[in-house]
Amino acid sequence: MTPGTTTPLIKQGWLRAVLLFVAFISAGVLAGMAGGLFSLTLAGGTAFSQTLLNSVTLALFIFELVGIVLVILFRRYIDRRPVKSLGFQWQTFQPDALTGFCLGMALLGAGSLVLLASHNLEWTDARFAPADLFMGLVLMVVIAFTEEMVFRGYILNNLMESMNKWVALAISAGLFTFAHGSNPGISFIAVINLLLAGLLLGINFIYTRNIWFAICFHFSWNFLQGPVLGYEVSGLPLQSVLQPSLHGPWWITGGSFGLEGSFVATGLLLFALLLLYAAYEKRYVKPVTAS
């Protein structure tokens, strides 16, 4: 702990991480139930209001917003540290943010090109609806900020105070996977890819203690995948600009879970993870020299 900081209310970092995770999942379940009831109450309006207020989207919004509030409360009153200490320092970390943003687009683009080249994908139509695109943009921004604040900024951050960084990374990735385990269309390939995604989203953090790489990667991956290219996002269907038609087995296309439920995504995520590991080891780990 750095000089001048206040002693946390709960000393063990791993315990703080577990408590936040339990609170996040519990609040998410309650928010999902409330969102479903609220959407039923407001059903029967215009097509846009039905899209805006459908139970899945509304529940997800509530879930993510509750997550942000929980992290802020835990960081301020349990950890007794400023929210910025979650890893929000921007100065000098702009290149990491840009790398994350571009990597998300590059992986989705590469995966789509593989499906196109193998005749497993074609786009049958393109529809630009500004309201739907804006809705998708806002949703993906909120998801990226919330999940990275929860799983990297808070959980991984606190786990690293109690254990080896690689063990902490693996546990945080496992919790990230568990939190998505009830998503529609989940499969064993999707579980593997969620675990790889959790490792990939956290690998920059264990070297830099900064969250901007993960936020920007998470946002660009989700936004391009769903509102732009038209895939489901972890099983969540969204209004999109492009209208895809998928052909072939689900383990190639991802099926109803989206591209991230495919072996194509497995290869891309694993390649990116190994590439970043090599780059960060070279950049941040000083070689041992003979005395």
Residue 188 placed within a domain: yes
123 burial level (CB within 10 Å; 0-12, 13-18, 19+): middle
How many structural domains compose the chain? 1
CA 3 to chain centroid, in Å, comes to: 33
Contacts of 187 (CB under 8 A, 6+ apart): 250, 251, 255, 257, 261
Looking at residue 279, its pLDDT comes to 96
Residue 70 placed within a domain: no
State which residues form the domain around 182. Answer: 88-283
CA distance 122 to 115: 8
State the 10-residue block means of pLDDT for the chain, 291 residues long: 70 96 88 58 47 62 89 97 96 96 96 95 91 90 96 98 97 96 90 97 98 98 95 87 92 93 97 97 72 40
HEC secondary structure over 111-160: HHHHHHHCCCEEEEEECCCHHHHHHHHHHHHHHHHHHHHHHHHHHHHHHC
Q: What are phi and psi of 186, to 5 degrees?
A: -60, 145
Residues facing 126 on adjacent strands: 242
Residue 50 placed within a domain: no
Residue 23 placed within a domain: no
Residue 37 placed within a domain: no
Residue 24 placed within a domain: no
Residue 247 placed within a domain: yes
Looking at residue 30, its pLDDT comes to 79
* pLDDT 10s digits, 131-158: 889 989 999 999 999 999 999 999 999 9
Looking at residue 1, its pLDDT comes to 46
